[in-house]
């Protein structure tokens, strides 16, 4: 079994891969105030509740965009599984079958996305990751990451508006049936969710135009990738676990 760990700004996502499929997906909050012991206990609980033996994990791959959590999680998995993990970073990028733009600047989650997408399509492709940030990663037909665009993620944008109004509002991530907001919550939903529909559509159109490839594959990922249902037809695929799949591929390359 292989364990893939994606440490993001909002969540830590853990995937257990066995017999050509993800058999378990777990999530934890990326809370900087949690000590190492907390994460160790949670991982033990996950395995215990699933009836799994930690000794059956023979490979661990980690991506992290939260440096303050990286060492904590590495220490936890080394103690629990008695194995040193592969940590996706510049040294590992050099061994991947893709070329990484600005390896010391780009997030390892975007590299993992790019690897999974390129290995799937082997052609020009765009990954749109609906996470804490909304990112557009473009890979050319030779496997080179040629550019990234970043905007605030859906939750980030909604939180920014709702927390800076005169009253605090709990705004659910639900696509409204009208762009004409009838109250504050509806107005924020219309402006962000329907507005992002236009943002994503325009970005994809402009990226494809720069590539001179109107049929370029586009894949959506991230926990919020299915929220804006009206843009589903803009994507060749929607795969919430693309980042984990890139980590799985990294582990299978025997780096």
CB of 204 within 8 A of CB of 126?
Answer: yes
In the three-class reduction of DSSP (H, G, I as helix; E, B as strand; rest coil), residue 213 is classed as coil
Q: Residue 13: name the closest of 175, 252, 247, 192 by CA.
A: 247
Dist. CA 196–CA 85, nearest whole Å: 37
User: Catalytic residue numbers?
Assistant: 109
Taking the C-alpha atoms of residue 166 and residue 175, their distance in angstroms, rounded to an integer, is 23
Place of tokens 């105030």: 33
User: Strand, helix or coil at 218?
Assistant: strand
Is the Cβ–Cβ distance between 227 and 154 less than 8 Å? yes
Question: What one-character-per-residue DSSP string does 151-182 give?
Answer: EE-HHHHHHHHHTTSSS---------S-SS-S
**Residue 194 CA to its chain's centroid (Å):** 22
| Residue whose entry in the numeric block shows the structure tokens 């496997």 | 143
């Amino acid at each position: 079994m292989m364990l893939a760990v994606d440490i993001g700004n909002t969540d830590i996502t853990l995937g257990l891969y066995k017999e050509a499929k993800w058999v378990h997906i777990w999530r934890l909050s990326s809370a900087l105030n949690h000590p190492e012991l907390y994460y160790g206990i949670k991982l033990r609980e996950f395995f215990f509740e699933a009836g799994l033996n930690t000794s059956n994990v023979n490979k661990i791959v980690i991506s992290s965009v939260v440096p303050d959590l990286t060492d904590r999680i590495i220490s936890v998995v080394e103690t629990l599984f008695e194995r040193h993990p592969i940590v996706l970073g510049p040294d590992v990028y050099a061994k991947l079958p893709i070329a990484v733009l600005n390896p010391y600047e780009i997030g390892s989650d975007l590299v993992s996305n790019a690897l999974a997408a390129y290995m799937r399509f082997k052609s020009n492709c765009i990954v749109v990751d609906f996470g804490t940030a909304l990112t557009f990663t473009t890979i050319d037909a030779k496997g080179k990451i040629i550019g990234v665009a970043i905007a605030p993620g859906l939750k980030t944008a909604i939180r920014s508006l709702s927390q800076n109004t005169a009253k605090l509002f709990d705004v659910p991530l639900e696509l409204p049936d009208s762009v004409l907001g009838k109250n504050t919550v509806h107005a924020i939903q219309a402006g962000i969710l329907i507005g992002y529909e236009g943002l994503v559509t325009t970005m994809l159109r402009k990226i494809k135009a720069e590539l001179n490839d109107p049929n370029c594959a586009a894949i959506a990922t991230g926990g919020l990738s299915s929220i804006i249902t009206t843009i589903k037809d803009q994507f060749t695929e929607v795969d919430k676990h693309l980042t984990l799949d890139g980590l799985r591929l990294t582990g299978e390359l025997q780096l």
